[in-house]
Structure 1
Amino acid sequence: MSSENEDHAESVAAPVWDVVVVGAGPAGASAAYAAATAGRQVLLLEKAELPRYKTCGGGIIGPSRDSLPPGFELPLRDRVHAVTFSMNGKLARTRRSKKMLFGLINRPEFDAGLVTAAEKAGATVRTGVAVARVEQHGPAVPDRRTVAVVLADGETVLARAVVGADGSAGRIGAHVGVKLDQVDLGLEAEIPVPKTVADDWAGRVLIDWGPMPGSYGWVFPKGDVLTVGVISARGDGAGTKRYLEDFIGRLGLAGFEPAVSSGHLTRCRSDDSPLSRGRVLVCGDAAGLLEPWTREGISFALRSGKIAGEWAVRISEAHDAVDARRQALNYAFAIKAGLGVEMAVGRRMLKLFERRPGLFHALLTGFRPAWNAFANVTRGSTSLGEMVRAHPAAQRLLNTLDK
């Protein structure tokens, strides 16, 4: 290596960043934005080049919209005012709303926009950078206030605090010791369709309660493309694939060639799973944070990322391990008091849905208070947790159905 290259390597590795964020999805970009707006030196690392494709329905519900940076313009592909519910292709009924229920986006555009917002706030972004491991002890760590982020090419990046947002199978979650108790398989196809077909779906989504316990399918219209997917518990991949094929077939879409076919695993954390280790926090998918029933993850990523960025700033200012631990515990409390409550209700909803999907279908299609609750949750005027806390009738219903 030439001396010029050596000097360049040292200039990259030498700074001690206040906060290093690993992963530039919604959680990571939100964490970087929060830390950068606090005036800290922030480095955001992403292994892919942006924009990059991500398997995701792309539904932006109220809590997601409310967690975006001020002035952020959503790249909406459609605005949803109607939902068609069906039971494995049968008993279809459409419910409509004068107010928008939620918006639909393509993840490459959305994620890239969030990264741009973080950059404008002052964060430095490096793409095409894979992280090999994180070290909090050993020769790579100059002092106890520092974390070493070792990259795949051997470069070491130093930080006072690290936020892991590199997905549920990422390096940082493994370092923290994240534990999972629910893993689901999602399969999805992006299907270009003619204008006549696209017009039929404009402003309307389909939610189909599937043939396997806890499964469901969806159609999300995005202009001249329909995002069609299904999700079910991992363990019956062949059955999930058949469900998607049958679903596409009965929708009359089998004759259209998908532009993209993809799959992914969603993973929910167990109640006792850690959210930190030393000066390292995890958020979003890396922490196993998503709603267990619907498997909605974007709002959980945005909200947990923002909280992680704020507490990472405090950890970066901690002068010893005791103070760092105190701030990390405060972060965990903030997550559990908010998103953790929603996850707990979501787990109960999933168990009930697995046992009695017909009841859910009947309530949403034939009982106006249930439809109103669905609409209010998607708009963000309430959450599953708030609904149960504020309405004793909802708590009694859950308790009755739990038996």
Structure 2
Amino acid sequence: MPRRSDSPSRRTFLAGSAALGTVSVAGCLGLIGSDDDDAPNTFGQIGSGRAGRPEPGGTRVEDLPDLEGELTVYSGRGEFLVGTLLGDLEDYYEDFTVDPRYGNSSELVNQIAEEGSGTPADVFYTVDAAALGALAEEGRTQALSEEATSMVDEEFRTDQWVGTSGRARTVPFNTDSLSNEDMLDSIQAYATDFDGDLGWAPSYGSCQGFVTAMRLLEGEETTREWLEGIVDSGIAEYSDEFAVCQAVADGEIDAGFTNHYYIQRVLDGSPDAPIATSFTEGDAGAVFDVAGAAVTDAADDADLAQNFVRHLLSAQAQEYFATETYEYPLIPDVEPVGDLPPIDELDVPNVDLSQLSDLEPTIDLMREVGINT
């Protein structure tokens, strides 16, 4: 249908205010100031890390095809992370309805496979490339349009799925007890050469994915030796990676192994917390994984599903991921929040992200050396 930018029923995209959950500050973006095409776009980011951000570049929602119809999204991303974004898309398009069904990523992959051609899922939106790759391997996805895939660099997509936001493995450290010079460039060295107390969350999926990357890159025996060294170092175990970062900030431990955005979430609640980010170089400790989306082979309206995926890569959605979930945006014209290098300056290893779904050998290996998973 023709675009009606002056329609009074269409709300400014992401202009509302909402709370994303206990790990995020209340408040949304206030991205566009007016529905009038002649009015200037205005920003009003609220909260820690948002003030003074430049207007995001890239393709704006207004320049994408309208979303019209009903769409069922099987989401391995939690409602507290993406519910506001999906709701704002519904509000922005008067004839668009999205039915999100939240769940565990691997369970959703299995559900789509079991439902076969009768699955109601039009889009699979999830937390990592492993789940996207698993669904594609089941033959339950369809090729994405060039309009969608061309919006991000080739390392963050295949012809069957596209990344929408990213997360980097990092080593958060307490700045009261350590400096940048104390941090090591090699993840292997943390098992033998680190002078401090470490923490991690070995039962957490992201941590297991990181160990899987090590197993794929370095081999099982080297990974076993690293795990044994980490256990011997007395590393503390936590329930999740936010808890690891909070323990670093509280001085319970000196450093840990987490995804980068948990550091930003701690700083969001306590801007002066003594925690900072360090990176290893070119190894499993520097893996960069993506959340992303795929269109299922059973999508009722493939064009609508494809255009929805493109909306996840719009300037406004990418700014949302940067400022509300603290992930890395995947389009180059939107900056991450925090004292972080751009994606192209990260020294990441060459690993097939879709293979990170091979967790069973990793879990077996971790258990063999006495780690609780």
TM-score (norm 1): 0.29
Task: Indicate the structure (1 or 2) with the bigger Cα radius of gyration.
Answer: 1
Higher strand share: 1
